[in-house]
Structure 1
Amino acid sequence: MAKIYEHTPSPPRTSKQYHRSLASVRSLCSAQLRKIKRSRRSEKVKFDGVEFAASELFSTYFQFVAERHQIFLRRYDGQPQPWTDDPILAAYPFTNVFRVLDRNSQYILQNVIQKGSQDLHEAFFRVLLFRTFNKIETWEFLEENLGAITWKDFNLQTYDRVLSSVDGAVYNSVYIMPAPGRAFGFDRNYLNHLRLIDLMMAEKLADELQQMKHLKDAHGRLTLGVNEIFTPVLDFFRLILDLNMMPHFNWSEDEWVAVGPGSKSCLHKMFGSDVAGHEEAAMRFIRDEQFKYFKKYGVDTVEIPRLCPERRPGLTMVDIEHSLCECEKYSRARFPELKGKRVRVGLPYVAKDLPVTLVIPTNWLTCPLSSPQYSQPPPLDDNDTYEVSHIVKEKVTGHYIVRWLGWGPTDDTVVSEANLSEGSMELVAQWKKMKQKIADGIEKRCKQDREIRTQ
């Protein structure tokens, strides 16, 4: 189910030994960065039929991801500090290039997915529950008070009793599932979240997702019907990636990616404001041309990031989106003249005595298959009419992202209901029926909870 790679633990270190004040870190970085030779020459690149003048951040990105992964490997091999000569990477914490290697992802894989029943619905429930709070301490508190976490034993009142006794925050500050507000009628946010999980489980969402062939389709189904109760932001995409570590799913992470605010900001710093609307194409360009630019910008072949020996070197679309977010943080210190919404990199890095693990889902150990070949049939008539295969996602009310029959996710198009052919109206009707079913499920649970509270 997962492959564990052995390693030598890093020698013990105390936080005090490596703690530095934020002011001293900034001063040290500024002094060292002044020694780095800067190149002001812009790189001309072209994607989506548009030419862009890339800033120095473009070349820095390839050097950043290579060095950040080398830091992971040095720590994994048990090497002592310093793990890098880069003053910014040494001073501030940055997540791994490969998301699966981050602490929470490794924890989910080993302690949430692998631990417990491997039944599809039980494992699905555990991942939903962990991602809701995205906090290891909350998960372990639930285990201490409830024993094994199972869907068959789920009871809202029991979970309320346990979570209400938590001393401190039950949520992590980042990457939690979008909050449904008071959609289910509860004042406590976690109760609304738990009711949302209850609805997902009752609708047998796991079975539907298992039938889907593409990550983009799974993400679209997950967000179906939620526009009315909360904003489906990127954190739903993080949930899909967590689910993809389960042995029950195996979506390619190299076909499509949700563009988040961090990666979008980084791309705008790289290519300027004209890249707006071309962000996904920019990431495809980076994916397709990465080996050319790794070589051009001085990254040795052996230092090109590689998840594990069984996988070929290089980054998938998901890896690129993930690392662009971190590169944007890096740019705040390296290129302060490239303005963005945020200017602080973060708090100084403090080494922790935590094991560095490298556990990979077994279904990830084969090299990603090349993109499937699609038949791409011609239009049905002289009016460029194509046949719709299915609706992927509702962009806004009355506007749908549609998949064309014989074409892949890259060619999906946003089409208004008014512009869909008469033959596609049945697909729209099915989509609306599923939305109504979800709305009815919400109302049913609200009614049940109101009755319980009045007893």
Structure 2
Amino acid sequence: MNLSTYNESQYLLFDSKTLEYSRHRASRPLQNTLCVDGKLLTTSPVYDSYWYLACERQNIFFNRLKGQPVPWTNDPILLKHKFTNAYRAADRTSQYLIRNVIYREDLPSTPKEVVFRILLFKIFNKIETWKYLEEAFGSITYSEYNFDEYDSILSQLLKEAKQIYSAAYMMPPGGRQFGYIRKHQNHLRLIEKMMAESLPEKLNESKSMANAFSLLKSYPTIGDFLAYQYATDINYSEVTNFDENEFVIAGPGAKDGIEKCFVDTKKIDYSTIIRAVMENQSIEFEKRNLNFQPMWSRSLQLIDCQNMFCEVGKYARARHPDIAGISGRTRIKQLFSVNPNPMSYFFPPKWGITTV
């Protein structure tokens, strides 16, 4: 398709019968602009793919939930490559965190213990690493934590050529701040520093998500992206109770996706753009005739819209290769494979989501 012929009355949609993308005329003319902070931003075809991707990824989620056989989509890009859910909390790692790390009846539920578990899990962000530690120590608690013992287990895993960190995002090594050669040793010391300085109690007393973000960001190796991700993870627990639509920070991937979605962002803050997109989601789906299925009663939150910009940035590498962002990446590295382990979804009880 020659994207130079794209106009505001048409949008791109994947046709499952022809296995191709084609132009579809909207029920009323599409305006290829978005009003953000009083300014009209001109959108690119990637912006239409943003809404298509959110809708189709959510269709995949429900097709799988209903027990339908693979493939759950006919989109060739989604069939080949790995993409996260439209809702961050529905991803396998987040689900494991919520159910198996945070809400544990057999483990202490004080802010200190809950935050310790969350930080320990999220530093590695890998389910297998948590399982290794549980197998070694039984109950994972701060009251029984010992640096040498945890270091020994993690070092042994490395000797066995096991991956202990997820590839989802890069963790700064922290050697300059804490002085150890191995990354996990520095990160254990980082957690110790947080606990010694009463971070869990300070988070519990925080009045806003922005304040929680600032507390986390004040620690060595924790930048904007990680601080926001950790604040979101902690907010799944009862330690804090912020509205997820209160605060957002764009990560590197989201910034790349935003730059691809708009011809010119006019130096508007990325967080402001994400909020405008979130607030207009119903309108944007409707004018593209996309039947988006929300996660039961929960619409896309700021964290989800931020995440979708990251995903459409990846998606565009295959679908819109001639539209450049700021990452310089041209390939999607992670391939999709069906995880045979069934999912039983559990969300923070305070959300009031009934999944059946």
Q: After TM superposition, is the score higher than 0.5?
A: yes
CA shift, 1:177, in A, is: 4.8
Return the alpha-carbon distance in structure 1 between the equivalents of residues 237 and 83 of structure 2.
Answer: 25
Counterpart residue number, 2:11: none
Sort the Cα spacing of 1:357 and 1:157 in 2 relative to 1 into closer, same or farther, 3 A.
Answer: same
> Among residues 315, 318, 340, which one is paired with 2:303 in the alignment?
318
Matched residue of 2:33: which SS? strand
Counterpart residue number, 2:5: none
Counterpart residue number, 1:212: 206
* 1:330-349 equivalent positions in 2, closer than 5 A: 330-340=315-325, 341-349=328-336
Sort the Cα spacing of 1:126 and 1:219 in 2 relative to 1 into closer, same or farther, 3 A.
Answer: same
**Paired residues of 1:181 and 1:230 also in contact (CA < 8 A):** no
Counterpart residue number, 1:360: 347
Return the alpha-carbon distance in structure 2 between the equivalents of residues 33 and 182 of structure 1.
Answer: 51
**Paired residues of 1:177 and 1:236 also in contact (CA < 8 A):** no
Return the alpha-carbon distance in structure 2 between the equivalents of residues 33 and 366 of structure 1.
Answer: 35
Could you report, residue by residue, the CA deviation over 1:205-243 in whole angstroms, capped at 9, with x for unpaired residues?
11111111221111011112x3xx436141222111111
Counterpart residue number, 1:161: 152
**Paired residues of 1:109 and 1:245 also in contact (CA < 8 A):** yes
Q: Which of the pair has more CA radius of gyration?
A: 1
Matched residue of 1:199: which SS? helix
**Paired residues of 2:206 and 2:240 also in contact (CA < 8 A):** no
- Stretches of structure 2 lacking an aligned partner (at least 5 in a row): 1-14
Return the alpha-carbon distance in structure 1 between the equivalents of residues 329 and 169 of structure 2.
Answer: 18
Letter paired with 1:144: E
* 1:126-275 equivalent positions in 2, closer than 5 A: 126-166=117-157, 167=160, 168-175=162-169, 177-224=171-218, 226=219, 229-230=220-221, 232-275=223-266
CA shift, 1:45, in A, is: 2.4
**Paired residues of 1:332 and 1:343 also in contact (CA < 8 A):** yes
Question: Is 2:49 aligned against 1:60?
Answer: yes
Return the alpha-carbon distance in structure 2 between the equivalents of residues 326 and 165 of structure 1.
Answer: 35
**Paired residues of 2:41 and 2:264 also in contact (CA < 8 A):** no
> Among residues 37, 52, 63, which one is paired with 2:23 in the alignment?
37
Larger mean CA deviation between 84-93 and 137-146 belongs to 84-93
**Paired residues of 1:75 and 1:356 also in contact (CA < 8 A):** no
* 1:5-20 equivalent positions in 2, closer than 5 A: none
> Among residues 63, 66, 80, which one is paired with 1:77 in the alignment?
66
* 1:359-378 equivalent positions in 2, closer than 5 A: 359-365=346-352
The alignment of Structure 1 onto Structure 2 pairs a total of residues equal to 328
Return the alpha-carbon distance in structure 2 between the equivalents of residues 231 and 101 of structure 1.
Answer: 24
Larger mean CA deviation between 164-173 and 288-297 belongs to 164-173
**Paired residues of 1:176 and 1:235 also in contact (CA < 8 A):** no
CA shift, 1:361, in A, is: 0.5
Counterpart residue number, 1:286: 277
Return the alpha-carbon distance in structure 1 between the equivalents of residues 293 and 202 of structure 2.
Answer: 34
CA RMSD of aligned residues (A): 2.3
Return the alpha-carbon distance in structure 2 between the equivalents of residues 80 and 160 of structure 1.
Answer: 43
**Paired residues of 1:125 and 1:197 also in contact (CA < 8 A):** yes
Letter paired with 1:139: W
**Paired residues of 2:203 and 2:239 also in contact (CA < 8 A):** no
Matched residue of 1:129: which SS? helix
- Stretches of structure 1 lacking an aligned partner (at least 5 in a row): 1-28, 368-455
Counterpart residue number, 2:89: 100
Counterpart residue number, 2:286: 295
**Paired residues of 2:46 and 2:260 also in contact (CA < 8 A):** yes
**Paired residues of 1:182 and 1:189 also in contact (CA < 8 A):** no
Sort the Cα spacing of 1:231 and 1:251 in 2 relative to 1 into closer, same or farther, 3 A.
Answer: closer
Return the alpha-carbon distance in structure 2 between the equivalents of residues 74 and 156 of structure 1.
Answer: 44
Could you report, residue by residue, the CA deviation over 1:334-370 in whole angstroms, capped at 9, with x for unpaired residues?
1111113111123432212011221110111279xxx
